[in-house]
Structure 1
Amino acid sequence: MKRIFTVFALILTVSFAAPHVEAKKFGGGKSIGKSYKTAPVKQQQPQQTDTLKQQQPASNQTTKSSTKKGLMGGLLGGLLAGGLLAAFFGGAFDGIQFMDILIIGLIAFVIFKLFKAMRGAKSTPMGHREAYAGNSPQQPQQTAQYRQQNAPFGGAAQPEYASTDSDVPFNLPPGFNMQAFLNGSREHYRTLQEAWNLNRLEKIREYVSPALFDDLAAERAKLDGEQHTEVMYVDAELVRADYDANMAHLSIKFSGRYKDRIEGVEEDITDVWHLERDLQTPNAPWLIVGIQA
Structure 2
Amino acid sequence: MMKRFFTVFALVFVVALSTPHAEAKKFGGGKSFGKSFKTAPVKQKQPQQTDTIRKQNSPAASSSKKGLMGGLLGGLLAGGLLAAFFGGAFDGIQFMDILIIGVIAFVLFKLFKAMRANKGTPMGHRESYAGNSPQQQPQQPQQQYRQAAGAQSQPQNGGFESTDSDVPFNLPPNFNMNAFLSGSRDHYRIIQGAWNHNELEKIREYVSPALFADLEAERAKLSGEQHTEVMYVDAELVRADYDANTAQLSIKFSGRYKDSVEGVEEDITDVWHLERDLKTPNAPWLIVGIQA
TM band (smaller chain):
0.5 to 0.7
1:5 alignment partner in structure 2: 6
Q: Which one has a larger percent helix, Structure 1 or Structure 2?
A: 1
Q: Secondary structure at the match of 1:192?
A: helix
* CA distance in 2: counterparts of 1:11 and 1:266, whole angstroms: 21
- Matched residue of 2:229: which SS? strand
C-alpha root-mean-square deviation of aligned residues, in Å? 3.1
Aligned equivalents of 2:155 and 2:31: distance in 1? 39
CA contact (8 A) 1:195 1:204 kept: yes
2-side partners of 1:185 and 1:248: how far apart?
A: 16
The answer as to 2:216 corresponding to 1:233 is: no
Give the letter for the 1:212 counterpart.
L
Q: 2: CA distance between counterparts of 1:59 and 1:191? A: 52
Asked if the contact 1:41/1:161 (under 8 Å) is kept, the reply is yes
Query: What CA distance in whole angstroms lies between the structure 2 residues aligned with 1:2 and 1:125?
Result: 90
Which residue of 1 is the match for residue 175 of structure 2?
Answer: 176
State the alpha-carbon separation in 1 of the partners of residues 30 and 244 from structure 2: 33
- Give the match for residue 50 of structure 2: 49
Counting only pairs closer than 5 Å after superposition, residues 1-293 of structure 1 correspond to structure 2 as: 1-50=2-51, 153-154=152-153, 159-293=158-292
Which residue does 2:119 correspond to in 1?
none
CA distance in 2, matches of 1:58, 1:228: 62
Can you list the C-alpha shifts for 1:79-102, whole angstroms capped at 9, x where unaligned? Answer: xxxxxxxxxxxxxxxxxxxxxxxx
How far apart in 2 are the matches of 1:158 and 1:22?
34
TM-superposed deviation, 1:10: 0.7
CA contact (8 A) 2:155 2:175 kept: no
Q: Gapped runs of 5+ residues in structure 1? A: 62-116, 134-146
Cα distance, 1:23–1:50 mapped onto 2, change above 3 Å: same
| Structure 2 partner of 1:104 | none
Alpha carbons 1:152, 1:175 under 8 Å: kept = no
Which residue identity does 1:173 align to in structure 2? P
Aligned to 2:106: none
Contact 1:152–1:174 under 8 Å retained in 2: no
Aligned partners of 1:158, 1:167: CA distance in 2, in Å?
Answer: 17
The number of aligned residues is 215
Structure 2 CA distance for partners of 1:288 and 1:152, relative to 1, 3 Å: farther
CA distance in 2, matches of 1:242, 1:165: 14
**Whole-angstrom CA distance in 1 between matches of 2:200 and 2:124:** 68
The 3 A distance-change label for structure 1 pair 12 and 157 is: closer
Tell me: CA distance 1:151–1:227, structure 2 relative to 1, closer, same or farther (3 Å).
same
| Identity level (%) | 71
CA separation of 1:5/1:252 partners in 2, compared to 1, >3 Å: closer, same or farther? same
The question of whether the paired residues in 2 share the 8 Å contact of 1:32 and 1:291 is answered with: yes
- Deviation (angstroms), 1:58: 10
Gap change, CA 1:3 and 1:172, over 3 Å in 2: same
Check conservation: 1:22, 1:28, Cα contact below 8 A: yes
Q: Which runs of 5+ in 2 are unaligned?
A: 56-121, 128-134
